[in-house]
Structure 1
Amino acid sequence: MITMLPVVTAQQMKQIDRQAIEEWGIAGLVLMENAGRAVVNALCQELPDFKSHRFLIICGPGNNGGDGFVVARHLSNLGLPATCALLGTIGKLKGDALANAQILLNARFPILEISTPEQIARLIEEHTVIIDAIFGTGLSAPPAGIYARVIELLNQCPAYRVSIDIPTGVHADTGELLEPAVRADLTVTMALPKLGLLLYPGKTCTGKLVIADIGIPAKLLHQQADILLIDAASVRQILPARPPDGNKGTFGTCLLICGSRGYTGAACLTAMAAVRAGAGLVRLAYPASLSPIIESRILEPVKHPLPETPAITLSPAALPEILKLTNLTNAVAIGPGISTSPETRNLLTELIPQIDKPLVIDADGINNLAGQLTILNQTRSPVILTPHPGELARLTGITPKEINQHRVQFAREFAEKNRVILVLKGAPTVIASPDHPVFINPTGNSGLATGGTGDVLTGLIAGLLAQNVRPLDAAITAVFLHGKAGDLAAKELTEYCLAAEDLLHYLPRAFAQLLHSSA
């Protein structure tokens, strides 16, 4: 996990910049120069017809505008048609921004001082690439006056829009839109990703995100590591080994306790995902009356019909059999499709404190914890909870809207308070664990917002736990691969048509891409 990039707030990035300048002796002008060059390099990479465009750089009065002046100079050096517009006057510029403006002027490159929206409107119409260098990460209030009107004009134009560091109008820490906000096609952010670029709704304005190296030492960047962005290279390191002389025992056993009347699909999806994760043996326990459906639907898992209630849910009478099965397994998962019937709730209340293997609790397993979270204090093994915001709301009394607005904060607080690993599903999924950073997952899409995909994730986690992957690592790996399978499926099936079962067919591609990619 050491390769994962930290995700920073505006204040953290400001501190890193200050240390780079004051303690490491890297001049601010050098950082600004590197930032501007990085934007031009990104444009060259992302635009196949790079040299055929006309570029307009719209600069604000601060350091973000200074980056824009550097971009204008390097585009000009390449002989490309570029226009630099300053929303304000050169006389009000300061520091490194003023220095780079002066360099432009010394090179006889004009900087157009803009005082009215009408002046910029004509320029916007004449250019095919617009570079937003208006405000950076320091913006904390909605743009007003000429800035607001320029952003509105920019968003209405057909040009390709590029933001430097962060789209103007996106809050760097929360992803809140301080409307109007620039809707970028490409954002080139400096040194480290900003939290607001990864959280919604800010992510909707980011477009493609490029993280640019501007010469800040890695040691300095990685000192801020309370939030990390999951990446393929780190997940590849976590995947358990597959020794060529291994057998079923080598790759472990997981027990999945799932299903009730009407929810056989949840049980089957969970079980097959655990198979796809590489577990040596998957045991599926469910209410006995579901056997005809489950036996006809899936082949590989070992089936364990259990005592049931008249409503065909798991009965407290199943407890002795389940405890026997836990002695045969390396990991346990509870919850997909089990219902919230009182009898099943009583079963879980007795069962969870007695499980001594790594435990995943999902779906109705989580819903049955509502009002009795103290059960988590009685567990004898690591616990992974995988709620979506609605399920977490039932546990905490906080609304799903509030949870989504502050998902990193709430995930961290819940995990610390209850001493569990929390996988808060959503856009993006975040993973929190006591005494560890919060992890943000970059994979996945809206096609995963459909019934059954969470069951697949539970099976993946359990299958990795069976192979003795550490619980936190299992959660990170499963979430990344689950999202990657969704991305691969959506490319062929579209996000509209993606179904949970499709993930089972695309998981092998996700694993193969991870194993064979150099990224």
Structure 2
Amino acid sequence: MGAGAEVTLGAKAAAALDRELMSTGAFSIDQLMELAGLSVSQVVYRVHPLNKGRRVLVAVGPGNNGGDGLVAARHLRHYGYQPTIYYPKRSKNELYQRLAKQLEDLDVLFVDDFPKALSSADHVVDAIFGFSFSGEVREPFPAVINAMAETQVPVTSVDAPSSWDIEEGPPKSGVGSNFHPNFLISLTAPKPLVKHFKGRHFIGGRFVTPAIAAKYDFDVPEYEGLDQVVEVEPRGQKL
């Protein structure tokens, strides 16, 4: 990224960019979610190949971040993993219902007991809350986030570690204050919270045009070959 400086998108800019992709950019939300979920699945495949264990537990929230997780789980199932879905607050939105149905048709298991599922998981995908999260973590997610914070099972967070403030990172106390996932995939561009993240960091979103990237003042990373993701250093430079 330019001059070695880290360029990040705050919550308002990230929301505005999403709206622009779906207006002047002519993308549908289905397309963006599919591409985001594909990116997430590629990160899991890269950091946790099949020989490390096939059981991937995907914690799904009620919004777009959860939708990305549902898409990722479908791709992981086709790669040969055995995903399990924890989805306690199912959306009535048709898009999310279709994504869940696609997984059910692949015999992907939906579970109600997160700690029990975590005890037999090889990897966790945190797709609970994304960049638009603010305020208090509500039930049943406090116990889920605490469990992810305490587990030895590696965790990949989608766009933002759940409970983290988009600008300030982990909360100073309470739920999520000790949650530091192993891997993070920033969708489209990193968010300011990455300055608090210490694990392996990826960027996904191989659909942003140069014009939109210029408008929001960030560089589109150089994706290679078929890759939908690029691993970057904490300060944003490509590895």
Matching of residue 190 in structure 1 with residue 184 in structure 2? no
Instruction: Give the corresponding residue for 1:17.
Output: 18
- 1:144 deviates by 2.9
The CA distance in 1 between the partners of 2:188 and 2:5, in whole Å, is 13
**Contact 1:58–1:68, Cα closer than 8 Å, also in 2:** yes
The CA distance in 1 between the partners of 2:30 and 2:145, in whole Å, is 27
The CA distance in 1 between the partners of 2:209 and 2:94, in whole Å, is 23
Matching of residue 59 in structure 1 with residue 72 in structure 2? no
The CA distance in 2 between the partners of 1:188 and 1:180, in whole Å, is 21
**Contact 1:165–1:187, Cα closer than 8 Å, also in 2:** yes
The CA distance in 1 between the partners of 2:29 and 2:5, in whole Å, is 26
**1:78-120 Cα shifts (integer Å, max 9, x gaps):** 22111111022x3x342543332233234443433x3xxxx21
One-letter amino acid of the counterpart of residue 20, structure 1: L
Unpaired segments ≥5 residues, structure 1: 232-440, 444-479, 481-517
Instruction: Give the corresponding residue for 2:209.
Output: 217
1:442 to 220, 224, 235: 235
The CA distance in 2 between the partners of 1:166 and 1:222, in whole Å, is 23
One-letter amino acid of the counterpart of residue 36, structure 1: G
The CA distance in 2 between the partners of 1:50 and 1:38, in whole Å, is 20
- 1:36 deviates by 1.0
Identity of aligned residues (%): 21
The CA distance in 2 between the partners of 1:9 and 1:146, in whole Å, is 27
**Contact 1:189–1:211, Cα closer than 8 Å, also in 2:** yes
Higher percent of residues as helix: 1
**Contact 1:192–1:221, Cα closer than 8 Å, also in 2:** no
Instruction: Give the corresponding residue for 2:127.
Output: 133
**Contact 1:7–1:193, Cα closer than 8 Å, also in 2:** yes
The CA distance in 2 between the partners of 1:184 and 1:213, in whole Å, is 20
Q: 1:100/1:221 Cα in 2 relative to 1: closer, same or farther (>3 Å)?
A: farther
One-letter amino acid of the counterpart of residue 48, structure 2: L
- 1:189 deviates by 1.1
The CA distance in 1 between the partners of 2:214 and 2:96, in whole Å, is 27
Matches for 1:356-505 after TM superposition, within 5 Å: 442=235
- 1:2 deviates by 8.2
The CA distance in 2 between the partners of 1:170 and 1:95, in whole Å, is 28
The CA distance in 2 between the partners of 1:124 and 1:96, in whole Å, is 27
Q: 1:69/1:16 Cα in 2 relative to 1: closer, same or farther (>3 Å)?
A: same
One-letter amino acid of the counterpart of residue 100, structure 2: A
One-letter amino acid of the counterpart of residue 97, structure 1: Y
Instruction: Give the corresponding residue for 2:225.
Output: none
One-letter amino acid of the counterpart of residue 189, structure 2: L
What SS does the aligned partner of 1:87 have?
coil
Matches for 1:232-381 after TM superposition, within 5 Å: none
Matches for 1:71-90 after TM superposition, within 5 Å: 71-88=72-89, 90=90
Relative CO higher for 1 or 2, CA cutoff 8 Å, sep ≥ 6? 2
What SS does the aligned partner of 1:145 have?
coil
- 1:71 deviates by 1.2
Instruction: Give the corresponding residue for 1:45.
Output: 46
Q: 1:164/1:111 Cα in 2 relative to 1: closer, same or farther (>3 Å)?
A: same
The CA distance in 1 between the partners of 2:206 and 2:92, in whole Å, is 23
TM-score, with length taken from structure 2: 0.82
The CA distance in 1 between the partners of 2:157 and 2:4, in whole Å, is 26
**1:480-502 Cα shifts (integer Å, max 9, x gaps):** 9xxxxxxxxxxxxxxxxxxxxxx
TM-score, with length taken from structure 1: 0.40
One-letter amino acid of the counterpart of residue 125, structure 1: S
The CA distance in 1 between the partners of 2:51 and 2:166, in whole Å, is 29
Instruction: Give the corresponding residue for 1:172.
Output: 166
What SS does the aligned partner of 1:131 have?
strand
The CA distance in 1 between the partners of 2:43 and 2:169, in whole Å, is 23
The CA distance in 2 between the partners of 1:126 and 1:189, in whole Å, is 27
Count of matched residue pairs: 222
One-letter amino acid of the counterpart of residue 121, structure 1: P
The CA distance in 2 between the partners of 1:3 and 1:103, in whole Å, is 42
**Contact 2:126–2:158, Cα closer than 8 Å, also in 1:** yes
**1:251-276 Cα shifts (integer Å, max 9, x gaps):** xxxxxxxxxxxxxxxxxxxxxxxxxx
**Contact 1:190–1:214, Cα closer than 8 Å, also in 2:** no
- 1:135 deviates by 0.7
What SS does the aligned partner of 1:149 have?
helix
1:156 to 134, 150, 165: 150
**Contact 1:67–1:97, Cα closer than 8 Å, also in 2:** no
CA RMSD, Structure 1 to Structure 2 (Å): 2.7
What SS does the aligned partner of 2:197 have?
helix
